[in-house]
Amino acid sequence: MNIIKRIKNKIQYEFYKKIKPEIIGGWKNANGVFSQNTGISNMSRLSSQKDNLFIGDNVYIGHFNYIDAVNAKVFIGNNVQITTNVTILTHSGHHLIRLINNPNKAVKNTGKLSFKNEIYIGENTFIGPYSIVMPGTKIGKGCIISAYSYVKGEIPDFSVVRGQPAKIIGNTTEIDKNFLEKYPELIETYYLNGSN
């Protein structure tokens, strides 16, 4: 039995070695705009209908993320960083599975039981690992979404949020103030790129 397990492990190792996670450069939006400084992992899944997914320039989308832009639009601003294992959803039909009891059965007006809504992620925002962004969420610019956060609703510019559900726990301008005092050479680019 151990020999079979070792052979199986060796095959898996060789398979994953050939398709290792890596960041692929460049992204072309549905409107034809090409963002050459954007990098997206080959291990992330971006599901989209035509014209539904807009990704800005200098965006980083790391490994093992899922972005659902099938049912509504997703807008990701410039300089956004989406780390790893982040889920961004534009729809949910969890009411259907309980109320209809048979998802394959045709029932009138089921659209009222599910909801679809677009997502907006403002520029210079960081989304930490294992976070979930729910339909209809609008995240302002310059935000930090802490790891393992469940984000729903409107998040004001420069917010630091954490938790399930995510709550505002701070302001990024206060964090940035400390860095700018320590590294004054960053002040020019900080205000130039619209961080504040």
**Residues forming a β-bridge with 23:** 41
| End-to-end Cα distance, the chain | 62
Query: Pairing state of beta strands 132-133 and 81-82?
Result: unpaired
Per the annotation, the verdict on 91 as an active-site residue is yes
**Residues forming a β-bridge with 39:** 25, 60
Cβ atoms 79, 35 nearer than 8 A: no
Question: Looking at 63, 91, 94, 95, which residue is catalytic?
Answer: 91
| Token code pair at residue 171 | 């302001």
Burial (CB < 10 A; 0-12, 13-18, 19+), residue 2, is exposed
Distance CA 73, CA 120 (A): 8
At position 173, the amino acid (one-letter code) is: T
Q: Which active-site residues does the annotation give? A: 91
